[in-house]
Amino acid sequence: MSRDHCWLRQKFNEETVTYQLEQNDAIARTIKYEMNQLFSNTQHVGSDQDAKITFGIVTDEVLGDEGYTLSKTANGYRITAQTTKGLLYGLFGFHREIVAADANCGQTKHAKQGANNADSSASHTSNTDSVNSANTTSRADNTSTKSNTSPPNPQDILSEPITSIPDQSFRMINHWDNIDGSIERGYAGDSIFYKDNTFRRDFGIVRQYASLLASVGINAISINNVNVHRIETGLILEENLPEVKMIADIFSSYGIKTFLSVNFAAPKILGRTVTSDPLDSEVNAFWAEIADGIYRAIPDFGGFVVKADSEGEPGPFTYGRDHVDGANMYARALGKHGGIVIWRCFVYDCAQDWRNKSIDRAKAAYDNFIDLDGKFDENVILQIKLGPIDFQVREPITPLFGGLKKTNQIIEFQLTQEYTGHQKHVYYLPPVWKEVLDFDTATGNEEAAEETDDKTPVKDILKSNSVDQKLSGICAVGIVGMDNNWTGHKLAQANVYAYGRLAWDNNLTEAELADEWIDLSFTVAEDSKAKIAEILLTSRETLEDYSAPLGIGFMVRPNIHYGPDVDGYEYDKWGTYHYADRDGIGRDRTIATGTGYTRQYSEKICSYYDNIETCPDNLLLFFHHVPYTHVLKNGETLIQHIYNTHFEGLERVQGYIDVWKTLEGEVDDDAFQNVTDRLEEQFKSATDWRDQINTYFLRKSGIADNQNREIFA
């Protein structure tokens, strides 16, 4: 069966699309390949005058290595950049423009956004009325061919040149794939890279995946799990490098750097040393030799990703060393080759005593890394999760953003839905990412900020607080597997698309991203587009409503992290406690009476969260322990809000089912059945959430639902 071609499914049909491209490096050859995938009939010509599409290398420092400009010519269109990598991005950008023009009656994506940005944002608010009312190396198969449609005329699109330059330098995917073929926290089938403790060697799938990633601007990838097991520890050895190289060469031809996750204890595990102490000379010699061997085999190798001293993984703490000692050891080995070490900051005590309320997992990343600011080598990047806990449906930003001011840093998102429905539930992630990237950390001159509106949002401080802005940006835990549609849930493709596009352009709205993906992925009427968009844009609120309330998080079944289990982690070692009793619920993280976590933020943000009067209700239980009778800002008591939202969330899922049924015969059969099946499972799971959460809190509080709905007391 041919794999889903996702947002690259639309192939334009014209008698012949002529194009001119002088370059012939690996990426230029990829451009020629992709021309044949995006257009039905193409011909490479030697002259600009004979070409409808011309590709040109120019000198324009503003564009950098990845930016591009699209413009029209007398014969057609011109794509220019400083590098062939930029030209490749330009080709995919051009494809988006012509698809948008075709989908929107000749109006390009940029023109549509410019004219209707405010209306678009307003039309995709959290209003839920509409949802409540109702394996191949070619993309010749399973594509939508515009059989009677040529690319729009130059008069129709690109009336003004479009220049596009990425906002973030690092735009990365971290795979948690294991060599046995499994994927840690993977919900879309087995690994596309590995099978049965060896490499899968299906390079057609790898190439198609590289194409999808490059089309949205992804430029880096790590191909194995950060929890590096015994066999994967040997991926860095010479005998395995030819296999790694074959994968890396495919990604490189799409402008994507390949990284490997490494085991900190590798020197000892592989029998090369008796220790893995980062200050030991033999250990340093081991890593230098490993790096030399990798770069001989793969000259454009990216570097290492390291999870150390976290959740049982080995690290420098074993030897009385710190994160600087560990990270800089790798930096020295990689530095002479231009390589990079990405050091994860997900470090906390995973053997906590639940009886000790002074221990707060949320404080761990800041406490571990803030005093090390400015001590890491120039080719070290710290990878920091967006929130202080672990990818919950809602949590505040980690205070390391704004706290670290002299260290290269990238923010970590999660595409795979570990805690948010395993891709069995529809869950559109851009609202989460936008919320974080736009959050003002208030870590600049606070007095000046009050007078000049000079904010310090996360999307800016990632760059400004990094020593080298080229070593800053965004990464995300991967989502794809061997499922035919890559992501398990068809609608989860929107998250991969939107992640890449948002990492490139931080100012895109969640509504614009949804509209782009829908235009590229479906051929449906305008009202049907609106229905799909409404499902996506309300899905985060919906899942939040029927799961753990108001920022408290977790309440999931231990280990698998799917389905409700209110007390599943309450007396465990992982530090994710809700402290519900007969009187109230919440984690007190205030300065006066709690763990003092709020003190880690800037003064303004600390005051905002520490004060129950200003703390937003959607994070109330993350920061405060309150009685069930506490009145929220909307006038509801806490307990009534819990009851109401869990009934409403389930009702909204039923609304999604009703709306999706109306799309039968309009969306393709595979997509329709896939989403139908997943929505039915979501409804079943949301019912469990509603009943278990409401019953739990009725029994705890003894306070009845004021609407007398069925709760199982």
Active-site option among 4, 418, 440, 519: 418
Query: Which of 196, 238, 311, 450 is the catalytic position?
Result: 311
Query: Contact at 8 Å (CB) between 270 and 314?
Result: no
Tokens 């231990």, residue located:
558
Rounded Cα–Cα distance for residues 618 and 553 (Å): 11
Nearest CA-CA partner of 52 in 8, 84, 25, 12:
12
| Whole-number Å distance between alpha carbons of 94 and 144 | 17
Catalytic residue among 390, 515, 545, 610: 390
Q: Does the annotation count 311 as an active-site position?
A: yes
Residue 16: strand, helix, or coil? coil
Alpha-carbon distance of 93 to 636, in angstroms, equals 47
What would the two tokens of residue 107 be?
């109006």
* Torsion sign, CA atoms 310, 314, 320, 322: negative
CA distance 533 to 654: 16
Integer Cα distance of 385 and 346 in angstroms: 7
Q: Coil, strand, or helix at residue 19? A: strand
Residue type, 497: Y
CB neighbours of 458 closer than 8 A, spacing ≥ 6? 397, 401, 402, 411, 436, 437, 438, 439, 441
Pair of tokens at residue 285:
């010699």
> Which of 342, 83, 97 shows the shortest CA–CA distance to 215?
97
Q: Examine the residue annotation and report whether 390 is marked as an active-site residue of this protein.
A: yes
Helices within 271-410 (DSSP H only): 281-297, 323-335, 364-369, 400-403
Give one DSSP letter per residue of 97-141, joined into a string: HHHHHHHTTT--HHHHHHHHHHHHHHHTSS--HHHH----SSSSS
Q: Phi/psi class of residue 181: alpha, beta or left (left: φ > 0; alpha: ψ in -120 to 50)? A: left
CA distance 674 to 494: 15
- Which residues are known to be catalytic? 311, 390, 418
